[in-house]
Structure 1
Amino acid sequence: MAIEWKGVMPAVTTKFTDTDELDIPAFKTNIKVQLDAGVHGIVLGGTLGEASTLEDHEKRTLTKETVAYVDGKVPVMINIAEQSTKGAIAAAQKAEDDGASGLMMLPPMRYKAGDQEVIQYFSDVASSTKLPIMIYNNPVDYKIEVSLAMFEVLLKHDNIQAVKESTRDISNVTRIKINFGDRLKIMTGVDTLALESLLMGADGWVAGLVCAFPGETVAIYELQKAGKIQEALAIYRWFLPLLELDINPKLVQNIKLAEVHTGIGTENVRAPRLPLFGEEREHVLKIITEGIATRPTLPNYKNL
């Protein structure tokens, strides 16, 4: 399925049973609500999807189950976060075999590769697959930045098509547009900078709190796209305390707790993560419950 790099694409959480197996029924419950809200794609196995704890067979199961479940309604992408080029190429081939529409790719894990090594890594994977690739550029969390000069080289590969822009520098959206126009699509990847990035020209939003609040997230995107900025801003201002749960080391636990309270998820995480407890849990619960209590009435954003 071809990917249009636009709209809201949830970086979905991975659901686990009480015995630490994949919880496919709970996972599908959440995916259904995402589709009903009008999301434009699904991203599996990212940071929020607990990628570093997933076994290879679990990633493949998630991909196959999601592709079958969405049944062509939206594209399905799987994240690649590997330590070696060999491993990344193998992961890309498995994703292609399993029916994924595209890849989200982080730079090499653990080893802090130099610029040329990063370019070679992405280039080798791009040459090995027909799948379109979105490079996840998050130097804050992963300590490697893919610079404009590096993208200049990488864009020689036709299937490197988009960037998940998570540098936290809002002006980078403009820099990318100046240098590459529409050749490199921009999916903002920081929930607390989402509306700002969209207004500066980002094409879409790989979102986190969408996992618990899909309608509000898609409404913000559709409203700003339709030029209804004040309506989008009103929802975004309500949303911001919740969105801040995404820019936190315990974003997985935070967002899974929010999913529980909106009725579309479970709180199970995979060790070494633990569910929130004590004062930290109470603080996050307060934000979630206040958000739910003041949840805005959404306009008919699907028909703007």
Structure 2
Amino acid sequence: MQFAWKGVFPAITTQFTANDGLDMPLFEKSLQAQLDAGVDGLVLGGTLGEASVLTTDEKERLVKFTIDKVKGKVPVILNIAEGSTREALLQSAYAKSWGADGLMLLPPMRYKSDDRETVHYFQTIAAATDLPIMIYNNPVDYRVEVTLDMFGELAASSNINAIKESTRDVSNITRLRNRFGNRYSILCGVDTIALEEMALGADGWVAGLVCAFPAETVAIYRLVKAGRIAEATAIYRWFMPLLELDIHPKLVQYIKLAAAQAGVGAEYVRAPRLSLAGAERERILKIINDGIASRPVLPDYLQIKL
């Protein structure tokens, strides 16, 4: 599938049953909510998808199921987050054979690779596939920063064509544009600065709270890109207490609880994660329920022509 790296790409959660199996009916409900809201792509097996505790067979099932359900309406992207180049190459080959439309690629896990090693890792995987690749640059959580000079080297790989910008430095959008123009598509990867980064020229948003609030997320993106900043900002201000759930080590538990409260998911997670309990659960529930109770009326954002 030919597609553009722009718009809202949910980092979709993996739905589990109470017995720790894949809950495919609920996963389908979650997918449909995203499609109905007008998302532009889907990212499977990311942090929110609990990739580190999924088997290869489960990833295959999720990718093939999603492709079957979306029927070409939006691209299906598989995240690659592995500890070895060999395993990353294997997973990227699987992604191609399963029918994925693209890859989101993290630096090597566990080992903190230096600049030369990181570039070589990305280049090696890019050379082994014809799938388009989005580099996930998140030094806050994964310790490795992909610098401007490294992106300069990676520009020689024609299928590395997008960046998930998660440095949490909004000025990096401007640095990337000044250095590379439109060579790379840029998608914000941090919910709490998404409006700011899109206003500065980011092409889209790899979103987290979209898993619970897809319409509000897509509305903000479309309003910003249509220049209707005041309308987007009003929704964004309502959204902010919820968006802050995305920048916590327990973002998976928090966002899954939000999706459960919104009726589009369940809060079951896979160990070693545990579902929230006690005072922490009550605190997060209050944030979520307060947001649901004051949910804004949205404009007819799906009719906005971009």
TM-score (norm 2): 0.99
Question: Equivalent residue for 1:52?
Answer: 52
How many residue pairs match? The answer is 304
Question: Equivalent residue for 2:88?
Answer: 88
The 5 Å alignment of 1:260-299 reads 260-299=260-299
Secondary structure, aligned partner of 2:124: helix
Q: Alpha-carbon deviation of 1:18?
A: 1.2
Q: Alpha-carbon deviation of 1:160?
A: 0.0
Question: Equivalent residue for 1:2?
Answer: 2
Residues in 1 aligned to 2:28 and 2:295: alpha-carbon distance in whole angstroms:
24
Question: Equivalent residue for 1:181?
Answer: 181
Q: Alpha-carbon deviation of 1:19?
A: 1.1
Q: Alpha-carbon deviation of 1:155?
A: 1.0
Residues in 1 aligned to 2:181 and 2:276: alpha-carbon distance in whole angstroms:
43
Question: Equivalent residue for 1:132?
Answer: 132
5+ unaligned residues in a row in structure 1: which ranges?
Answer: none
The 5 Å alignment of 1:138-157 reads 138-157=138-157
Q: Alpha-carbon deviation of 1:259?
A: 0.6
Is 1:223–2:223 an aligned residue pair? yes
Question: Equivalent residue for 2:70?
Answer: 70
Residues in 2 aligned to 1:177 and 1:154: alpha-carbon distance in whole angstroms:
15
Q: Alpha-carbon deviation of 1:90?
A: 0.7
Residues in 2 aligned to 1:76 and 1:2: alpha-carbon distance in whole angstroms:
11
Runs of 4+ in 1 over 6 A off after TM superposition: none
- Quick check: 1:3–1:102 contact (8 Å CA) kept in 2? no
Residues in 2 aligned to 1:121 and 1:112: alpha-carbon distance in whole angstroms:
12
Question: Equivalent residue for 1:208?
Answer: 208
Question: Equivalent residue for 2:248?
Answer: 248
* Identity among equivalent pairs (%): 62
Residues in 1 aligned to 2:107 and 2:67: alpha-carbon distance in whole angstroms:
25
Alignment-mate amino acid for residue 256 of structure 1: K
Residues in 1 aligned to 2:65 and 2:230: alpha-carbon distance in whole angstroms:
39
The 5 Å alignment of 1:112-127 reads 112-127=112-127
5+ unaligned residues in a row in structure 2: which ranges?
Answer: none
Question: Equivalent residue for 2:22?
Answer: 22
Please tell me the root mean square deviation across aligned C-alpha atoms, in Å.
0.5
Residues in 2 aligned to 1:46 and 1:196: alpha-carbon distance in whole angstroms:
23
Secondary structure, aligned partner of 1:202: coil
Residues in 1 aligned to 2:136 and 2:57: alpha-carbon distance in whole angstroms:
23
- Quick check: 1:137–1:163 contact (8 Å CA) kept in 2? yes
Question: Equivalent residue for 1:197?
Answer: 197
Secondary structure, aligned partner of 2:134: strand
TM-score (norm 1): 0.99
Alignment-mate amino acid for residue 143 of structure 1: R
What per-residue deviation string (whole Å, max 9, x for no partner) do you get for residues 178-215 of structure 1?
Answer: 01111111000000000000000000000000000000
Q: Alpha-carbon deviation of 1:3?
A: 2.2
